[in-house]
Amino acid sequence: MVSNGTRKQRHAATNNETAFIRKEDAPILPPPITSAGPAGWLYENMFASMLDYSTLGAAVKSILMAIFTAFVAYIFVGQVYGLLDFAIFSAVWQDPEEQKRQVCWTVEQGGKLPNGWHGACWPYIIAKTKFILYGAYPNESLWRVNSTYLLGAILLGWVMIDWLPYRKFVGAVLLTIYPIFATVMLTGGGFGLSQFSVGVNTILGLALISFGRAGKMGWITGPLLDLSKVAGVAGWFFIFFAAALVSVGLDFDLSKVDTRDWGGLLITLVVATTAIVVSLPLGILLALGRRSNLPVARTLSIIFIEFWRGVPLITVLFMASVMIPLFMPEGVNFDSLLRALIGVTLWQSAYMAEVIRGGLQAIDKGQYEGADAVGLSYWQSMRLIILPQALTRVLPGIVNTIISVFKDTSLVSIVGLFDLLGATQSTIADAAWSTPVQASTGYLVVALIFFVFCFGMSRYSMYIERKLDRGH
């Protein structure tokens, strides 16, 4: 606008009628309604395809699109409305007179609701909440489960939020001290101290650590030097193991809760988190082993992976619950939750290993050679160069198997563990709440809980993918 005056004067001076010269700036107009804002979005994505009647072919296409859109919209709205109607609008929310099942009965069935009523019976879920979330876990000890959840959520949240300090330290606590804490809290601990095994582990650990120290101080030379490096690390594992034994062995004056009394969401979370957390490192080792040049490591990895991957999870669980006791000496009772845990974890590791192997194979040969050429050792090049790239590439696949194992944990209900699904199913069999909508309400809750967890994992993995994107 500033240059307007001078331009006008110049134009007047030349006074050329034939040439077109704009005398002032063209006005700034708003974009057409079809290309901006929510209306524009709707037009471009929905209506543009059904508003073209210029030719016969285009008209037929437009009409078909309109019919198809209307059909999809009808189905979608109908389903969503049906679900909302069932879960919210028509649902029974309260049971003030403690009628139990009668509160969700229609007149025909002997209750007060109008005939043909169909809605969720929330008082039933409210009454069964404790069982669905904790199974038969004793009421007076529920605070132990809740505090385990709370601490776990705080630690996990801390690790997941980028800008918090000491994240590595918190992560280490989450992977080492927290599982011991959870075991003691959930089972009640007090398994008894075996002075022998604690002593052996401590002495072994201290011996290995001092061997490692000696290597560092330069007192050891020759081929033993490499061994001492490994020993130094291994020593800390033994010390940790001894500390874990002491912690679960000591009596903290908590009442013991047998794992047979655990149930509901608690079992689902215990089995799923253990399987996920253990299977990731195990899967990495198996994948590296399968691609290794060492024949023994490679053969063992292949046998392990192919065996566990070739067996359905249900079979694994049946084998764990039926076969393992056969091999045990008489009278030894191997905890059935632990059996299922081991089965699911090993089965999941095999799958994880194959996903990660896919990532390792996708890495360019030049990266392996580049890492070798600068003189990195095998484990350094894996840790610094290969794995960061491989894991980033297969992150969707990793999250896929994690989500699938989270849902597969519901299979443990067939070996007599009441996980989220199993516990809910057993409440559905409760005659005190027997109504026609009981099963639908129960399964809706199970589906909702599973969905919240799986959707959360999915979103978080997308966030990580964006964060790790290096634009290549």
Partner 1 sequence: MVKTSVARKKNKKNSSDETIVVSMEHVNKWFGQFHVLRDINLRVVKGERIVICGPSGSGKSTLIRCLNRLEKHQDGDINVHGIELNNDVKNIDEIRREVGMVFQHFNLFPHLSILENCMLAPIWVRKTPRAEAEEIAMHFLTRVKIPEQALKYPGQLSGGAAAACGNCARTLHAATIDAVRRANLCSGS
| Binding site residues, partner 1, CB under 8 A | 366-367, 369-377, 380, 384-385, 388-389, 392, 468, 470-472
Closest to partner 1 by CB, 241 or 368: 368
Q: What is d(CA 47, CA 331) in angstroms, rounded to the nearest whole number? A: 73
Tell me which residue has tokens 């000591």: 250
Cα–Cα–Cα angle for 302, 405, 80, nearest 5°?
145
Shorter beta-carbon distance to partner 1: residue 103 or 386: 386
Q: Which is nearer to partner 1, 98 or 364 (CB)?
A: 364
By C-beta, is 16 or 221 nearer to partner 1? 221
Which residue type sits at 428? I
- For partner 1, give the closer residue by CB, 244 or 382: 382
CA dist 189 to 112, 173, 186, 266, Å? Answer: 50, 19, 8, 17
For Cα atoms 373, 375, 378, give the angle at the middle one, nearest 5 degrees.
100
Smallest separation, CB 377 to partner 1 (Å): 7
| Of 39, 43, 1, nearest in space to 23 by CA | 1
CB of 367 to partner 1, least distance (A): 7
How far apart CA 292 and CA 274 sit, in angstroms, is: 27
Cβ at position 432, least distance to partner 1 in Å: 59
Residue 330 CB, nearest approach to partner 1 (Å): 50
Backbone angles phi, psi at 61, to 5 degrees: -60, -45
CB of 156 closer than 8 Å to CB of 114: no
Cβ closer to partner 1: 281 or 370? 370
Q: Which is nearer to partner 1, 374 or 448 (CB)?
A: 374
Q: Which is nearer to partner 1, 65 or 363 (CB)?
A: 363
Residues 195 and 225: beta-carbon distance below 8 Å = no
**Minimum CB–partner distance for residue 379 and partner 1 (Å):** 11
Comparison of 204 and 464: residue with beta carbon closer to partner 1: 464
Tell me the closest approach of the beta carbon of residue 385 to partner 1, in angstroms.
Answer: 6
CB of 291 to partner 1, least distance (A): 17
Supply the minimum distance, in Å, between the C-beta of residue 383 and partner 1.
9
Task: Report in angstroms how near the CB of residue 210 gets to partner 1 at its nearest.
Answer: 23
**Cβ distance to partner 1 smaller for residue 387 or 420:** 387
Shortest CA distance to 446 belongs to which of 411, 405, 414, 407? 407
Smallest distance, partner 1 to C-beta of residue 389, A = 5
